[in-house]
Chains A and B, each alone.
Chain A
């Protein structure tokens, strides 16, 4: 009898420990000061957290299909780790293969804003001991977005505002990737100050190509984590990081056939990331499948004394296990899961997308652990609570950038209104926005996630604003109407606070019976 079939079943996922009951009158005056309070309360928990990086055996799961090692850049990170462990793939061979592709194709893709040399990568690899427990990411070529501080590479945020900026330390998450043996190949180009697709700084001229349309700049790579997405999809890196304040990980992830997780707010430190919004910024993991996304999240999800928003939260669970489909005649989602369908989910203006979504639902319906809830209702006052002005965050970026605005507003280019007009928002409105977010999350927990554990949605903004986790993954291919290119299409799933395990479990079960995530973009002609 399997763990799943036992009377008690597998241990419950972390989202089930979040009460659907909302707090009333329990806390007073707990506004922005919540972060500071969390810092004080959480020192002991930080000290008690695991001292070493944790990548569990599931990261090397035997259900990973090894298709080919002729070109190791086609492998997922888990496949590469497994082959290196078995001795079938030399770490230098893997790094050399990525360096070769970058030198051959980067001029076309324009995925990187700044990058390491082949020699620097090989030296860093040489300095990393062979110890898969301490350095599980050894030889893995990774790409953080260009708003993560890096001590050895420029950090320009896709903007004239930070042109030439060279931090003297690594962002916490970059340091974690390096300390796990990961190699930072370069910095992914990004939209101007985390908005839109990557462009020549200060202009409207696009740079980064979509990996599925390298010879046609019209097809967008998605924004704002454009370069990270292209680098991974074009096999110039195996996985990487983006940031999401309003769809900037799930957007490019879906545009390029990637599997990405934007975890619960606070789950990953934002220390050393160029800020856009104190309250909505998230670090997101961008990868080729759910297992890879889980491995990277496992490495970077931990409390950081430099970011009090990451403190006082539940210990990260075993994400790699969650991203392993439950074995059986037909792989199942690890936990019985109700999946809700957004009211207009099958009414996209692109009928091709609707066709793919219907096929996606058919696969989910065949999963013995899944119950589809097709008639979910949205929480009360949904439109009012999720649209401007209550759903906005005008004031946040203005506060960070006042000195830059005084220096020269032209440096902000097309993004100037976003950064300048927050100073026109009144304090009473800003407080009301925060009240509205609290009310919205209350209703999402009690009036949406009472109907299901996971919801399929085309809407991401409300989930970004309330800090709930999102996962995107490819569900098929379609023809782009403008360019005629065959391009990937994706789905977005959302869950309750700390519902990352649940999202990984659904994605892993789907990817165990489909191949969209295994299809790689063709090289430029």
Chain B
């Protein structure tokens, strides 16, 4: 019997935290020098991880946006692109 793929459960905060810290460590970035939780500090680990989890979840949500790859090419600089592609009449 062939197994039908199912959508995995959404990762928990703890699972995402491990993923995030592993990614930072892989790049050689140490966030342990930040206070763990201190709302008076300019930044702490708790706020940083909360934001990072938000970025990851938004990143996953972007996958749901359908966009025609034939009609809408990726363009880094849209406004000058109108000139570079001769979208300006003489």
Contacts and interface: CB of A to CB of B under 8 A. Distances in A.
A375 interface: no
B19 to A, nearest CB: 8
Interface string B61-90: 111010101111111111111111111111
Interface residues of B, number: 47
A66 interface: no
A18 B23 contact: no
Nearest to A434: B74
A35 B61 contact: no
A122 interface: no
A22 interface: yes
A279 B74 contact: no
Interface string A280-304: 0000000000000000000000000
A439 interface: yes
B72 A435 contact: yes
Interface in B41-76: 42-43, 47-48, 51-52, 55-56, 58-59, 61-63, 65, 67, 69-76
Q: Give the interface size bracket for A toward B.
A: 35 or more
Given A34-B84, A409-B31, A466 B78 contact: yes
Interface in A309-357: 309, 312-314
Contacts of A21: 87
A378 B70 CA distance: 24
B55 A265 contact: no
Contacts of B48: 416-417, 420
A278 interface: yes
30 contacts: A19-B88, A30-B75, A31-B74, A34-B84, A202-B42, A203-B42, A265-B79, A278-B76, A312-B80, A389-B58, A389-B59, A394-B55, A409-B30, A409-B34, A417-B52, A420-B24, A420-B29, A420-B52, A423-B23, A423-B24, A424-B20, A425-B55, A429-B59, A432-B67, A437-B78, A438-B78, A439-B67, A440-B78, A441-B78, A497-B82
Given A265-B79, A313-B83, A416-B48, 15 more contacts: A18-B82, A19-B82, A38-B80, A265-B77, A266-B80, A312-B80, A389-B59, A423-B23, A434-B76, A435-B75, A436-B72, A437-B78, A440-B78, A442-B72, A498-B88
